Amino acid sequence: MLNFSSDYTNGAHPEVLRRLIETNDEVLTTYGSDIYTESAKAKIRTSCGCPDADIYFLAGGTQTNLTVISGMLGLCGAVVAADTGHIALHEAGAIEYTGHKVLTVPHRGGKITAEALTACLRGFYADENHTHMPYPGMVYISHPTEYGTLYSRDELKALHAICRAHEIPLYVDGARLGYGLASHGSDLSLAELAANCDAFYIGGTKVGALCGEAVVFPRGNAPRHFFTMIKQHGALLAKGRLIGVQFDALFTDDLYLRISCHAIDCAETLKAILREKGYRFFMETPTNQQFVVLENAQMAKLGEQVAFSYWEPFDETHTVVRFATSWSTTEADLEALRALL
């Protein structure tokens, strides 16, 4: 069966796997104090143009989100997110479990606009009773968003300026960051991203690693005791090498970006195929996820030969589905899909 269901159905990128194999028999120190973790951090600092960055490696996205958000928020703050944000919908209430409300604002194409953010913050402070309400203590965006869309450099700068004016941090969920950076539609480099937010993570799980996300506090601004918080959330791996070695590989010779570019090239071909075959786009995106509207019977039939993801109902008789490419997508996959559609 052809597979376009998601970007985490394969194991590790061969180069990443090779480094895990090569280092397997080495005796290394634990809990992320090993030389490969240190090396990975140094390389990421260079790639981000942030020599003072604090960097931590965690195993997965929800874990990263809940640890960073609860660590950065004040005790009674809420995190502002788009109503389509991953933390608002699909993380099983993980943020709330740490004691914090997710305050949602209406999305536009999966993004928070400067207008919507300003309205949310102004509305809060204008309310006479705002001390009876959870105050907006930080802002969460995902880049690419859950809909595969991207913030432009200007959009990001505008959001960051609003955050700075309110003295609250801006945090960027980069579960698929590579695919965003590699997109033809992106005008944002990794260094520019780092300069225009207060924390972000570089997703590994969906971009070539077996597991792992790299949290970056660009200006050495990790919350106090952040290491202990990671442990407290059960997010500290005894064999920290597992993630350190993988990110060391991903940030050697631009592997992270190279494999992301491949996925984007595949996505461009995918879009062309879908367009040429007359498929109706729900959202045509500049990254590795494409959303099309299928008639329900057609969806069932197609589903017998190609794996895609159910997204959401469109109307009584149609459904939105997602096709995703990744570093592991091949030209053969695309040709087979073209033949099939």
Restricting to residues 188-217, which ones interact with a second copy according to CB under 8 A? 205-206, 210-211
Measured between alpha carbons, how far is residue 93 from residues 100, 112, 233 in Å? 10, 20, 15
Q: Exactly one of 47, 67, 142, 186 binds a second copy (CB under 8 A); which one?
A: 67
Residue 24 found at the interface with a second copy (CB under 8 A): yes
Q: Exactly one of 37, 41, 48, 71 binds a second copy (CB under 8 A); which one?
A: 71
Closest residue by Cα to residue 283 from 252, 325, 237, 322: 322
- The site string for a second copy over 116-135 (x = CB under 8 A, - otherwise) reads ------------xx-xxxxx
User: How far apart are CB 92 and a second copy at their closest, in Å?
Assistant: 4
Restricting to residues 80-99, which ones interact with a second copy according to CB under 8 A? 89-94, 96-99
Taking the least distance from each CB to a second copy, the nearer of 131 and 339 is 131
223 membership: H or E segment, kind and range: none
Residue 165 found at the interface with a second copy (CB under 8 A): no
Taking the least distance from each CB to a second copy, the nearer of 235 and 341 is 235
Residue by residue, DSSP assigns 233-285 as TT---SSTHHHHHHHHHHTSTTHHHHHHHHHHHHHHHHHHHHHHTTPEEEE--
Taking the least distance from each CB to a second copy, the nearer of 7 and 155 is 7
User: How far apart are CB 11 and a second copy at their closest, in Å?
Assistant: 3
Residue 115 found at the interface with a second copy (CB under 8 A): no
Restricting to residues 244-303, which ones interact with a second copy according to CB under 8 A? none
